[in-house]
Amino acid sequence: MQTDRLRGVVVPETLKIVPAGSKGFSLVANRRFRSGEKVCFLAGEPVDADVSTPEAVQISDTQFIDTDHLVAEDFINHSCSPNTWLDIERRWFIALRDISRGEEITYHYLTTEWDMEVWGADFRCACGSPDCLGHIRGFKYLTRDEKLRIKPILSPLLREKCEV
Ligand SMILES: [Zn+2]
């Protein structure tokens, strides 16, 4: 287990990072969150795509929000049925429903990422959701129905690019 990876990572008291098998680590709730509540802040600054890390969040065709060190939100795993969405303008992950203490915090990567395959960041999802998309490659690869399902929680960039 690569616990060294966690050294120096600052985690708010309301959250904690736990080992999660093949996923590496997960960020989990350390108390109950109510639907609509702020769960985790998104730290970082806009950087160009070619210098961004795999944990960065896309904000335009060429820029990502990134940090030069690991932060708590880097441990938020993807789920095709997430319990938070990322409000990029306010820089907060917001609870989509009530979240219990001990529950893993997730967000849908394809609500912010246009094309992960181009960066070699695509992966096989094992979230277990009945709506699981399987191969997570980027918003641009989704079918019309798949795009419509996450339309309400898209980033401003993807909302602009979403033609359905
Ligand atoms: Zn999935």
Domain that holds residue 31: 3-161
Beta strands per DSSP E along the chain: 15-19, 25-29, 38-41, 45-48, 57-58, 63-66, 77-78, 84-87, 92-95, 106-107, 123-124, 135-136
Tokens matching residue 153? 């929680």
Q: Tell me how crowded residue 97 is: count the other CB atoms within 10 A of its CB.
A: 12
Domain count, the chain: 1
Q: Provide the 8-state DSSP code for 89.
A: T
How far apart, in whole angstroms, are the C-alpha atoms of residue 62 and residue 147?
A: 22
- Ligand 1 centre to CA of 104 (Å) is 14
List the CATH number of the domain containing 49.
2.170.270.10
- Ligand 1 centre to CA of 109 (Å) is 10
- Ligand 1 centre to CA of 108 (Å) is 9
Kindly report the pTM of this predicted structure: 0.94
Are 92 and 42 in contact by the 8 Å Cβ rule? The answer is: yes
Q: What is the pLDDT along the chain (164 residues), one digit of tens a residue?
A: 456 778 889 999 999 999 998 878 999 999 999 999 999 999 999 999 989 988 899 999 999 999 999 999 999 999 999 999 999 999 999 999 999 999 999 999 999 999 999 989 999 999 999 999 999 999 999 999 999 999 999 999 999 999 89
- Ligand 1 centre to CA of 27 (Å) is 17
Sign of the dihedral through C-alpha 93, 94, 95, 100: positive
Q: Which residues of 124-142 are buried (b: 16+ CB within 10 A; e: fewer)?
A: ebebeeeeebeebbbbbbb
